[in-house]
Each structure stands twice: as structure tokens, then as C-alpha cells.
Amino acid sequence: MFVPRPHLCDVLQREQRRLQLLCAPAGYGKTALLREYFRDVGNVGRLVWLSLEGQSQVLPRLSSRLASELGLAPDIAPEALLTYLGSGDWVTGPALPNLIAFPCGGEPVREEAGPNNDDSRLCLVFDDLPTDMPADLNHWFDQLLMLQNAHLHILVTCRQRPDWNLPQLMLTGQLLELDARQLALRPDEFESLVSLLAPDTDSASRERLWHNTGGWCAGVRLLPASLLGQYLERELLSRLSEEQREVLFGLAHLSKASADLCEQLWEGQQGARVFRSLLDSQAFLMPIDHQPGWFCVLPAVAQALQDRLGGAPLNRLRLRACQLLSVLGHVDDAVEQALSADQPEVAANYMERLWLSWILSERHLNKVMDWRERIEPHLLQSSSRLIYLCAKALLFSGRLEEAETCLQRLGHFLPLPDPQRNRRLLANWQALHGTLCALRGNAEQARLHCQGALHDLTPQDWLSVLLCHCTLAREAMNRNELNEAQTLLDQSLELARRQGSREAEVLVNTDRVRLMMLQGRLSLAHSLLRTELNQLTASRSQPYPLLGRLMFLHGELLLQLGHTGEAEQVVQAGLLQVRDGCAPFVLSAYLLLSEIASRNRDAEKAHLLLHEAERRMQWGKIDNVCYQRSIALQKARIVNREQGGDRDRPVPAGVSMVPDYQDGLTPREVSVLKLLAEGMSVREVGSRLFISVNTVKTHAKNINVKLGACRRTQAINSAKAMGILA
């Protein structure tokens, strides 16, 4: 089964260089890409393709084979062959065979060059170059690459970077190199391949497969069939030395590794040297984003190799790695190794050393939630810092009842002997409790707790200050007090930047985008979103939930702008970023996809997506208040559209068509709706609530949009059906 890679073919066509090098582990589709490129490109010139199959080569044999393909005497000396290639004599010499097709699994089918072919251009393809080559052969290739002939182009696929003078080619702009990152399947290509292989694969299984393979084509094909172990034995392990295999089997159990770490883990065995040799051998060690020098084994490969090391040797390795990682500052990885070594006390001790801002990344949020399941409760309740960390994780995960219970345990540490520390502890408690009240819809209590906390929080508590500001800003947006929200978010953005927290800045900007949408500044919102998405996309190769959150918001904005197809693609790509994460913000993806399906007149699919959303929320143990209202609102929209109540009218500027877990009708909107349901006019409602007629009209418009209604009577009936009105 073949998945086209047109964007990579475009790169090969656009970035013409003396050497185009495709260097990646086995199974990344290097040969298939070149076949597609030469099959689809128009004028390639004369083409000679040598399939080396990774087998050892010597200079006389390779030179003879190349000469035969060029129509020369096979016994020509290698130096004479270089002279021929440098002179360009193939233009006036005998016609060379030109590749025209690649039958599946066979050698290229060739015929004489056609009349429209550019005979002055010669492409030499060395497919599957061996990893180890003798010095004279490497020297011959260096000479080949230095030939002064602009019409000579060389394409090489290999599993290990060849020992050639590549820096010189790079300096002169004569090298194009594609590695595993560029050759990995993109999300849309991954989806196409899975749909071809197993079209009935559910979304959760697709997300797991994407996470484990990272776009590795062979892994996508083999992992579900449990054939990966055999493939790795043949394509990787058989090529490694005994010491390389020993280190690789150990690395399969570590979340990350570096040359320095390996040097200490395998003392006396030159661990750093072996680690670097594994990198050179393309042993599926993938670089970790934003951590130079650190790598991890591709998850699918790690899983397939983990049974090669076990028992006491594995436990010793984990405990040693735990100690070293903590010293190197990788505390979360030390926690993971301690738990894997069945040392929960050690793990809890390391958790106390984590920076509280560390949890802002949803990947880390998932880690904490996993640790809570693996560490005894009394260990997690042993300090106020651990309780605060766990309470924050529970709160961000939408598990509100558990968060409240956790917060109550902070009372066991009160009062503290130091009055200032006592006030700080209470203020941090208020910050979290205020957010808890906001998520439950208790706006007044949320405001009182957050404002009270801000009086006693210190610069050291910047994360709690940020939390209070963002909570107050969201409540201000719910009240339509947009100027107040703007001020609070501006303060939050400055605080995040001064603390150097990129994650905090991105999270604040998600609220700023939503505020811009409410203000009707859709163009500015779109520009800010694009900037954030470009920065995160350019710097990430692994799935990243924070990027998924931005993609969901981008999908919502695109839907408001009427770009339904693009919105669906963006949201689907965002789901691949969050994988199996279950934070409440994931709900917005399913609400958006449901709305898109409903607009496309596919009510069955729209309802199924809501069912999947509810399942995912319940699977994540997320409290009902975080999702039930939003799902009910979307169900009402679908029913209303089925009954002809919504003719795809434009969405008013700045009004969110798909609310997130904090949205729904605000308390003021409920008050307005109740009075309208009693038969009052707009002017009478304004008089009763001491607000202007225009403000009442704005609230009424927002109510209609949120309930999927066109008229007041439809809004009232929908609200009664959902229990908003008695």
C-alpha cells in the first residue's frame, strides 16, 4: 500500500544539489520516495540506479557495476570513471537507459531515453548504501562529489551518515539532507496509511499508534500485527555489535539518555562512545525537543526491545539512572525511574523538588495524574508542596471533587509558626479554590477568593498570581466586561514573560485570542493564533498537547470565519497532538467536529461525536459540571438544525459557536432569559436589571447563538429542555 509524499518530491525537485542525501533508519520510505520522485517528475535527464541493498562494497566491484550501467567497459579503472563523469562525455556517447516505471517489489523498468529528455543531465542513485565502507571507496566518493560538472547529480539513501566530506558540501550549498524527522509521515499521511491498512481503527487506537511510531512508516505497518520484533532483529540488531545491543536494550527502559548519562551508567564500557555509535547507526534514537544532546528510543522500538533486559540487572540500571537524572536536573524522569524500580518513597521525595510551574505543560499534567495512581496517598499527603501540586493537577484535569478534597488537606499544615508563610499558604489555597469555584459556575465566590489571594501572594507565588488573573479575566468575559478582562490578561502576559515561562505565555494567549473573538477583532485573533502555531510547530517534532489546544481554538475561529473544511482538518490534527490526554479542553475538539458534521447535514455523525466526547470525559474521571452543559447545548443545536430552526446563518462576530468547559450561559444571561420568558420587553428587562437596552440586546443575541436558536421562543424552549429554566 502506497501513500504519496508530494511535499517531499517537491523538496527534491526544488532543492537541486550536487548530493541529495536521504539518511534515516530502516522503514522510513527512502527508496519509495525516490521511486515516486522519478516516476512523477517530468524531465530527469539520464538516470542510473544502483540498488546496493546495504551489502558491503569494494571499490573495484562498485566501479565496474557503475561503468556497465553507463555503457562503458566494466574493467575501466575507477580513476578513469571519475574522469568520464567529470567531463560529461555521456552527452555525446552512447544513449543511456532512462527509468520510466517502478513495478512493486521489482527493479526499475528502463527504456532508451525519450526525445524530450535532457541528455545533458545525469542522475546517479546509490540506493541503500552500506554502513561500513573501506577507506578507498569513501575517498572515491569524495572525489566524485567534488567533480566540477554542474550537470551531475547524485542521490543516496542510507541508514548511517557516510564518512564523506559533507561539511564542505554544506558550506558550498551543494548538500540537501533529509533525515528521519523530514521523512516521517505527516499526520495526514499517517491517517491515509492507517485508513488503507485498517480503516476500522478507532480514534483512540490511532492516537496511540501515532504516539508510538512518530510517523515511522514501517512501525505503522508492523506494530499492529506484532511483527515489529522480527523486523528489528533483521534490519537493526543483526547489524549491531554485542556492546551496542547491550546499551540499546538498557536505553529502551529509559525515558531519555545522553552521552554523559551513558558514560556513567555503563562505567568501564565506554558508554559514551557506544551511545554515539548507536546514534551514527541510526538505531532509532530520536532527539528530544528543546533538550540538546538528549535522545529517547522511539516508543514503538522501545516496547519491542524491553523484554531483552529484566530482573536484577534492569532494577540496578533504573536505580542508578534515577540518581543520575536527579543530579542532572531531570527530576520528572528520576520520579519515573524510581516508580519503575518499585521505590514510591523515593519517587515522592523527588516530586517535592519539581518546580510548580512545571505542571503547565499538559504532558506533565498527565504524568502527575499517572503518578497519583502509583504512589500511596499517605506519601502524597506528606507535605504542603505535594498536596498543592496534586490539587493543581486535579483541578486542571477537571476532577473537581478530588481537587477540593485534596485542598482540604492543606488545613492539616495550618497554622504555620511563621505568620508570613501562613498567609502565603492560605493565599495559594485561595487561588486554587477560586479557580475551583469558577469551574463550578460560582462566579461571585471565585471573584472573592481570587481577589483575596492577590493581597497576600508574593513574587515567589507568581504562578498563583497568574492563575488568579486568568480566572478573573474569564469571569469578566462571561459578564461581558471586556475592558477589565483586557487589563487582567495584559498583566498576566507580562508576568508570564518576565518569568520566562513559554507555556504560561501560550496559555495566556489562548485567553487573549478568545477575548479578541468576543471583541469582534477576528483578524487580530487569527494573526496571534498563527504566530503561536508557527512557533510551536517549527520547534516540535513530538506530539504536544499545548499545540493541540491552540489548534482547537484555531479550528473554532476558522469555523466562525466560514472555513468549515479547513477547520475540520485543523481539529483532527490537534487530536493527534493531545493523543490520549483527557484534560477538559479536549472536549472542545469533539464539540467542533460535531458542529461541523451537523452543518454538513450528518446528524448521526454529529451525535456519535458527542457520545465519544462524553465517553472520553468519563474515562478521564472529569466532573460532570465540566462537560454536561456544553454537550447538552450542542445536542440542542443539532436537533434545532434538524427541525429547520437554523439555516446556517452567520455567527455574530466575536461570539463562540462552540463553548469550552467554562462556557454556556453566564449568570447574567440566565437572568435576562428568565425575564424574557416571563414576557417582559427588552426595555423592561433593562429597567429591572439596571442595564441599557443595547446590553440586553447583546445578551439576547449571545443567548440565541449559544442555544442554537433564531428566535426568543426557540431559545426559551431549548433552555427549558436543558433544565436552564424551570
Tens-digit pLDDT profile for residues 252-263: 999 999 999 999
Q: Is 339 within 8 Å of 372 (Cβ atoms)?
A: no
pLDDT of 25 strictly over 60: yes
Average pLDDT over residues 619-640: 91
Look at residue 688 in the predicted model and tell me its pLDDT. 80
CA 657 to chain centre: 25
The most confident of 125-129, 131-135, 207-211, 410-414, by mean pLDDT: 125-129
pLDDT of 662 strictly over 70: no
E-assigned strands of 84-138?
97-101, 109-112, 122-129
Cell numbers 511483527: residue: 227
pLDDT of 271 strictly over 60: yes
Determine the Cα–Cα distance for residues 86 and 148; give it in Å rounded to an integer.
6
Q: What percent of the chain has pLDDT over 70?
A: 91
With both helix axes pointing from N to C terminus, report the angle between 203-213 and 564-578 in degrees, rounded to the nearest 10: 60
Q: What is the pLDDT of residues 28-56, one digit of tens each?
A: 999 999 999 998 876 677 899 999 999 99
SS3 content of the chain, % helix, strand, coil (to 5): 65, 5, 30
Q: Which residues make Cβ contacts (< 8 Å) with residue 25, sequence separation at least 6? A: 159, 180, 216, 236, 282, 283, 284
Residue 460: left (phi > 0), alpha (psi -120 to 50), or beta? alpha
Average pLDDT over residues 17-24: 95
From the list 378, 410, 373, the residue with the least C-alpha distance to 391 is 410
Q: What is the pLDDT of residues 172-188, one digit of tens each?
A: 999 999 999 999 999 88
Look at residue 356 in the predicted model and tell me its pLDDT. 77
- DSSP H helices in 49-186: 59-69, 78-87, 135-145, 166-171, 180-183
Q: How many other C-beta atoms can be found within 10 angstroms of the C-beta atom of residue 62?
A: 20
From the list 543, 528, 468, the residue with the least C-alpha distance to 190 is 543
- Pairing state between β 97-101 and 109-112: antiparallel
> Of the ranges 8-12, 194-198, 668-672, which one carries the lowest mean pLDDT score?
668-672
Q: What percent of the chain has pLDDT over 90?
A: 64
Look at residue 656 in the predicted model and tell me its pLDDT. 42
Q: What is the pLDDT of residues 86-133, one digit of tens each?
A: 987 765 555 445 444 444 444 555 544 444 455 678 999 999 999 889
Amino acid at 68: S
Average pLDDT over residues 494-502: 94
pLDDT of 661 strictly over 70: no
pLDDT of 685 strictly over 70: yes
Q: Is 37 within 8 Å of 13 (Cβ atoms)?
A: yes
Determine the Cα–Cα distance for residues 688 and 672; give it in Å rounded to an integer.
10
Cell numbers 549491531: residue: 240
pLDDT of 647 strictly over 80: no
CA dist 616 → 436, 443, 573, 583 (Å):
21, 27, 18, 10
pLDDT tier, 411 (very low <50, low <70, confident <90, very high otherwise):
confident
Determine whether 248 is exposed, middle or buried from the number of CB atoms within 10 Å of its CB (0-12, 13-18, 19+).
Answer: buried
Q: What is the pLDDT of residues 335-357, one digit of tens each?
A: 999 999 999 999 999 999 888 78
From the list 421, 422, 384, 427, the residue with the least C-alpha distance to 406 is 384
Look at residue 116 in the predicted model and tell me its pLDDT. 44
Residue 423: left (phi > 0), alpha (psi -120 to 50), or beta? alpha
Average pLDDT over residues 524-548: 85
With both helix axes pointing from N to C terminus, report the angle between 462-478 and 482-498 in degrees, rounded to the nearest 10: 160
State the distance between the two ends of the chain, measured CA to CA, in whole angstroms.
58
Determine whether 64 is exposed, middle or buried from the number of CB atoms within 10 Å of its CB (0-12, 13-18, 19+).
Answer: middle
What are the backbone angles phi and psi of residue 200, rounded to the nearest 5°?
-90, 5
E strand or H helix that includes residue 552 = helix 545-560
Look at residue 104 in the predicted model and tell me its pLDDT. 40
Q: What is the pLDDT of residues 57-73, one digit of tens each?
A: 999 999 999 999 998 99
